[in-house]
Amino acid sequence: TGCRKSIVKRKEFSMIDQPNTAESIFASAEIVLFGHEMSDLALVKEGLGNNGLTKKDEQFARIFGFSFDGAYHEIPTPVLFLVKGHSKPAKDVDVIGPNPRDKKFFESLKAWTVKQTDETVRMDVDQGKFETMLLDIGTEGARGVSGARVSGARVSGTHPS
């Protein structure tokens, strides 16, 4: 009875909570990416030539985290990656992954299995005002510091008072 309840309870958890204990010798060469397919970003393949990134089944995906070598790693700021192949629902992947208890997020989550040596394109996407997105990085640091330079342990420049 007590044992039976335990077995029934375990069936309620997804494979993400209870990963398969059987493991391939090649498992450490694989990475499982978790994210969403980008519906508003298209990959135009014309003129790309023979660069290894022109397959029909490629798309960009916003990746929130990944599983590697038995551990799930959340990415603090989601990043776009070019992924190959068709995705699977995250619940159907047999590795540790994001928390399935956040049902609204988890139900739409997809997974891609890639090799460490696969080629990809990474795009960091951010939004905001030009003054923070461009000027702060384009003028070597925060505004208000004039002409500052750093060389080894020496700092020179002026700060407007």
- Rounded CA separation 154/157 (Å): 10
Please tell me the number of Cα atoms within 13 Å of 99 on its side-chain side: 3
Please tell me the number of Cα atoms within 13 Å of 29 on its side-chain side: 6
E strands, the chain, in order: 30-37, 58-68, 71-84, 88-89, 110-115, 122-123, 146-151, 154-158
pLDDT tens-digit readout, 86-118 = 899 999 998 888 888 888 888 999 999 999 999
In the predicted model, what is the mean pLDDT of the chain? Answer: 74
Phi, psi of 34 (to 5 degrees): -120, 125
Average pLDDT over residues 76-87: 92
Average pLDDT over residues 73-77: 92
Percentage of residues in the chain with pLDDT exceeding 90?
32
- Rounded CA separation 139/133 (Å): 11
pLDDT at 149 over 50: no
Whether 90 and 111 have beta carbons less than 8 Å apart is answered as yes
pTM (predicted TM-score):
0.62
